Each structure stands twice: as structure tokens, then as C-alpha cells.
Amino acid sequence: MKYIFREDLFTQKAPKISVPIARRMMCLNESCMDPVPLVKDSFSRILQQTSINRYCSDISSELQRELAAYCGVPMEQVLFANGADDMIYHIFVAAREDRESFAVSPAPSYFDYKTFANEVGMQVRFLDLNEDFGFDVDRYLAMANDPHCKLAILCNPNNPTGNLMKTEDVIYFIEKIKDKPILLDETYYEFSKVSFIEEIEKHPNLILIRSFSKAFSAAGLRFGYAISSHESIRELRKVQTTFHTSLLVQAFALAILQNKTLFLNHIANVIALRDDLFTWMQAQSGIEVFPSATNFLSFRVPQRHKEMSDYLLKDGIAVRDVSTHPLLKDCLRVSISCREDVEAFKTSISAFLRV
């Protein structure tokens, strides 16, 4: 049978996530806090006003208003979708022009940038980060200024390194790129408290991406959004389906925003846990832990990272192996979820280091 789909799809593999499964899932940067009990009353009230038998509902515009208010921008500068991944994917769809089109991304960074590029028939070229996880802004500009580059990406804070890029480097890069979209991934914004949202007014090609998966404890909800200029949001709408986000998802997202103080308090607790764990890990012989502005810590265990990962898994703790890039050789990543998980992680690490 003749292959009937896009030619480059034939050699690609379907996207698949492979992570260990354990009682304590500290591998996917999820929250251990279940949002359902916190917002169930608000969610119930919203559902009573929502006709699921209809395509359209007033809650869509209400959610748009609440989301824009939370971000501090006009309604027309926000666009939501089925998770940050869905929003990023549609940015790739909008940016691709032909087979020569490519995106640029630092490395190591979020692995699905490459996934989405492949899915839309776009290439992606990487610039390795420096030893301190910063980036050579002039080299990156040279790559981004190639006429076939149609999308420039920065992840801040970066995943999986956890660090914030230097503000002056990000600003310099944004100011130099005028003729193509810049995707600035701020998925971990609530943990870093750093955003470049004020740059949108001066740079309408700048698109910020945020998520409810991390800060709002709703990974399974699949709700994310973009913040950009009115012009960029208008163009991105053109590549979304008409009814792109379930009314049930919208209702739950609205309930979260109506109770956002509960989640913001939880974020503060996670940040404190992260900082305490970072200090503790710094004191452990045989571990190199990296500073983080996210809800995770990446750390190096020279020559023993696989052994440690297996040991933790036997103890019911799943962490993420992020060692594929040379800069993260022998590295693991642990999510900061709740005190109980963190204490169990510390106990298990202490036992491993005594072996």
C-alpha cells in the first residue's frame, strides 16, 4: 500500500512519555494537592449555569475576563487552550511555512519543542547552553536571524535545568528579533515570580506561555494559555479549532481562578520546601544540586545516577532521569510536591548515600 500521509511522518514515532510509576510520583513536576475538594462548591455553581448540551456558554467570556484580570492584560491579549502543550503546538502550526522552516531552541530545554516541530513538519535547531546554563545570546541571534528560522524559543525558568536566564540577555534577544514570533515559555512563572509580560507592548511578536498544570495543581485538567499582543492572538486563533476547549475544562479553570488565593498560598509552601531541600542537598556529599526557580530540583550524582534512581524506585519514589544531554550528565530531577514526599525522598537519599 502506498504511504498516504505526509512523507516525513513515515519515519517518525508517535509521541510517548516513559516515566517510572511509583507511590510517590516526584518525576513529572506535578502537585500532590488535589484541587477538586478546594473548588468543588465553585465548580458546582458554575456547572449549574452551563448547558453541556450546547457548544457555546457565557462561561467562556467569563473565564476570558478572569484570566486576563489575573494576568493584568486586556481580554483580547489572552488565548486559552487544552494545556500549554496544545498552545505551543498551535504556535508551531502558525509559524511553519515550508519544509525549510525551522525553529531554534536552547538545549537542554523542554523536550516537546522537538516533538511539536516534528508533528507539523518543521525542523528544530539547538544551541547548547553554557556551563552555567546561560546562553550565548549573539550565537543564538545568528541562528534565529536565518531567513528559514520561523520561530525562536526561550524557556524561562528553563526545564530541566531549573534556572532563570539573565534578564539582560532575554531583553537583548527580544529587542533584536522583530520579524518572527518569539515563544517565551513561562510555565513555571508562579514559582519564579519573573515575567516579561511588560515587553509585549513594545514587542508584539512576543508570546508568553503559561499553564494551570504546575502552579494550580491541575496537570490532568489540560488548561494552558498564551499572552501576547492583540495582533498575535488574532493570528493564533486562526489555527485553533472553533470549539477547542471543553466547557467542563473551562468551568473547572474558572473555579480555580475564583479560588486562586488557596493555590497561591500552596505555591508559597512549595517554594519554601524547594529552598529547604536545596539547602539540605547541598550539604550531602556525592550530590551536586542546581539552584532552581521552579517546583523541581535537578541534581548530579556522578557515576551513580542510575543506581540512585533504581534505589529510590524500590523505595516507592519515582524521579526523572534528565541525563541525556552532556550538560546534564549523571543528572536526575525531583519534583517538589509536598512535605511528606520531600521527607521520604530525603530519608531514601540518606540511606542510599550510606551504601
**What's the grid cell of residue 185?**
515559555
Helix then strand then coil, % of the chain, to nearest 5 = 45, 15, 40
Residue ranges per domain, the chain? 7-33+261-354, 52-258
Go through 117-156 and write b for each residue having 16 or more CB atoms within 10 A of its CB, e for each that does not.
Answer: bbbbbbbbebbebeeebbbebeebeebbeeeebbbbbbbb
**What's the grid cell of residue 292?**
532552581
What is the SS3 assignment for 237?
Answer: helix
Neighbour count for residue 328 (Cβ, 10 Å): 23
Cα–Cα distance, 149 to 97 (Å, whole number):
10
- What pLDDT score does 2 carry? 85
Cα–Cα distance, 342 to 193 (Å, whole number):
22
Q: Is the pLDDT of residue 1 over 80?
A: no
To the nearest 10°, the Cα dihedral for 194, 197, 199, 205? 120
Q: Which residues contact 278 (CB under 8 A, 6 or more apart)?
A: 289, 291, 292, 297
What is the SS3 assignment for 273?
Answer: helix
Lowest mean pLDDT among 15-19, 78-82, 296-300: 15-19
Cα–Cα distance, 191 to 56 (Å, whole number):
34
Cα–Cα distance, 263 to 297 (Å, whole number):
21
pLDDT per residue over 298-335, tens digit each?
999 999 999 999 999 999 999 999 999 999 999 999 99
- Over pLDDT 90: what percentage of the chain? 94
pLDDT per residue over 214-223, tens digit each?
999 999 999 9
pLDDT band for position 236 (cuts 50, 70, 90):
very high
Helix (H) or strand (E) holding 127: strand 123-128
CATH number of 52-258: 3.40.640.10
Residue with cell 536571524: 145
Q: What are phi and psi of 127, to 5 degrees?
A: -115, 120
- What pLDDT score does 242 carry? 95
pLDDT band for position 45 (cuts 50, 70, 90):
very high
**What's the grid cell of residue 204?**
508584539
**What's the grid cell of residue 17?**
512519555
- What pLDDT score does 343 carry? 98
Helix (H) or strand (E) holding 43: helix 36-48
The mean per-residue pLDDT over the stretch 208-228 comes to 98
pLDDT per residue over 139-192, tens digit each?
999 999 999 999 999 999 999 999 999 999 999 999 999 999 999 999 999 999
Average pLDDT, the chain: 97
Measure the N-to-C terminal CA separation of the chain; round to a whole number of Å: 57
The mean per-residue pLDDT over the stretch 10-17 comes to 87
Q: Is the pLDDT of residue 230 over 90?
A: yes
Q: Which CATH number fits domain 7-33+261-354: 3.90.1330.10, 3.90.1150.10, 3.20.20.70, 1.10.3660.10?
A: 3.90.1150.10
pLDDT band for position 355 (cuts 50, 70, 90):
confident
Task: Count how many Cα atoms sit within 13 Å of the Cα of residue 71 in the half-sphere of its side chain.
Answer: 31
Neighbour count for residue 305 (Cβ, 10 Å): 21
Supply the Cα-derived Rg of the chain in whole angstroms: 21
The mean per-residue pLDDT over the stretch 61-79 comes to 98
Q: What are phi and psi of 241, to 5 degrees?
A: -70, 160
Cα–Cα distance, 288 to 187 (Å, whole number):
25
CB 232, CB 205: distance < 8 Å: yes
